[in-house]
Amino acid sequence: MKNKKTIELRTEIPGPKSRELMERRKAAVPRGQYHATPIFARRAEGAVIEDVDGNRFLDFAGGIGCLNMGHRAPGVVAAAREQIDKFLHVCFSVTPYESYVAVAEKLNALAPGKFAKKTLLLNTGAEAVENAVKIARAYTKRPAVICFEDAFHGRTLMAMSLTSKTSYKAGFGPFASDVYRIPYAYAYRSAEGSTAESFARHLTDAFKRLVAAESVAAVIAEPVLGEGGFVVPPKEYFALLHEICRKHGILLIADEVQSGMGRTGKWFACEHFGLEPDLVVAAKSLGGGFPLAAVIGRAEIMDAPAAGGLGGTFTGHPVSCAAALATFEIIEKEGLLERSTAMGKRFEARAREWQRRWGLVGDVRGLGGMCAMELVRDAASREPAEEETKAIAKYCYEHGLIMMTAGTFGNVVRILAPLVMTEEEFDEGMDVLEEAVASVAGSKSAMLSHA
């Protein structure tokens, strides 16, 4: 059992109170609502989560990338409290309020591209994806959407139809029509020698093989795959993709739900590629821990749907908007973009060393604080090490580190730690991860030598 500076384990994991709650959870909540750990939270602060048994965990998951500014960031809590004392819900569709407009103005200024922009606010990433597609269709007057293998866009009908991994879709068909899927620029799992050009060619081929270009409203892409395993395309890839889109009057939608809001060391991951998408989808850390999502885009595109065509009862909730305004300020004042870049470097230095030591670590990749390693059974065959990845995640939470996996094959360890995490905390978390990898890689080579 660990008892270091931050991590403090008072009981075996999960402790008695978590175990008791798990029994109630199993009886009351459907199994389809997955949980990555059996730990029930009691409180959280900064980069630390305390469970109901008094155990303290370092958080490398950030509620799946929603806490770049940290748990209960003081500015966010103060702004939310202030808003709660004024009004809760009046509905922007009934009596508008300033904070919604202020969030839209800020996102219009932050999103890549100097052109005039407008922003629609929503509650969740999936809802924002649905709306981005609606807007693209209204503007282009075309039906089809092209998406990617290994993509994740959410769990509602269109968002799920755009999602690739079959475990998110099994049993839920029929899916939305006019959705076409092409391979992503996933170098580690593509033919040797693949280039930005050869990856982009999948799009031009699609116009022959899958759907006529003049029927396509939009191509939707994550600049860095999130659930798909933190895959980073070659630098020139998106410029090529956008050029092909422009040539055919197709809009490019960047889904920055996971990669945005400073996660990669820039406000939006698109900036790393010099990409100025027609529409950008944001969510997760945008709300500072409250539900908030956005579609940001070229003003003339955003204005394509008629008045009343967009909206929702709770969209752009006043408390979420107040929290978002505080979040922008925290990211700027606390230098979280720089801290994200530094976190990525710290991760890479350690993970590359692990890669040299253990064949299990097949690939180390990422952009800033959106970093990951892909685990394989064998460096040559690259057979995904799904069970080993699960064992590492389990070792981690049993030793005080909450960490999530990703990837179509479930074999990616990903880091979504709050960007306010101190270097000491991050190193402590990486120590646990190293022990976890060592224990699994060690037992694997022991297994092999017995074989």
Contact set with ligand PMP (CB under 6 A): 64, 124-126, 129, 152-154, 222, 226-227, 255, 257-258, 283
* Residue closer to ligand PMP (CB basis): 103 or 441: 103
Residue 243, classified by CB atoms within 10 Å of its CB into exposed (0-12), middle (13-18) or buried (19+), is: exposed
Taking CB atoms, the residue at the shortest distance from ligand PMP is 125
Q: From the CB of 113, what's the least distance to ligand PMP, in Å?
A: 20
Q: Work out how close the CB of 292 gets to ligand PMP at its nearest, in angstroms, rounded to a whole number.
A: 10
Query: Do 157 and 175 meet the contact criterion of CB atoms below 8 Å apart?
Result: yes
Taking the complex as a whole, how short is the minimal distance between the CB of residue 152 and ligand PMP, in angstroms? 5
Sheet of 144-148, strands arranged across: 117-122, 293-298, 279-282, 251-255, 216-221, 144-148, 179-182
How far from 210 is each of 176, 180, 183, 217, CA to CA, in Å? 16, 7, 13, 14
38 in Cβ contact with 12 (< 8 Å):
no
Q: Give the Å distances, CA to CA, from 25 to 33, 40, 41, 132.
A: 10, 10, 13, 35
What is the length of the chain?
Answer: 451
How many alpha carbons fall within 13 Å on the CB side of residue 116?
Answer: 5
Q: Which is nearer to ligand PMP, 29 or 349 (CB)?
A: 29
- Kindly tell me which of 6 and 258 has the beta carbon lying closer to ligand PMP: 258
State the nearest-atom distance from the C-beta of 266 to ligand PMP, in Å. 16
Looking at beta carbons only, is 319 or 391 nearer to ligand PMP?
Answer: 319
| CB of 228 vs ligand PMP, minimal distance in Å | 9
Other C-beta atoms lying within 10 Å of the C-beta of residue 203? 23
CB of 364 to ligand PMP, least distance (A): 21
User: Which residues are CB-contacts of 98 (< 8 A; sequence separation ≥ 6)?
Assistant: none
Backbone angles phi, psi at 32, to 5 degrees: -60, -30
Matching residue, tokens 């175990």: 19
Minimum CB separation of residue 68 from ligand PMP in Å reads: 14
For ligand PMP, give the closer residue by CB, 227 or 425. Answer: 227
Other C-beta atoms closer than 10 Å to the C-beta of 382 total 16
User: Which CB, 261 or 336, lies closer to ligand PMP?
Assistant: 261
Q: Of the two residues 162 and 331, which places its CB atom closer to ligand PMP in the complex?
A: 162
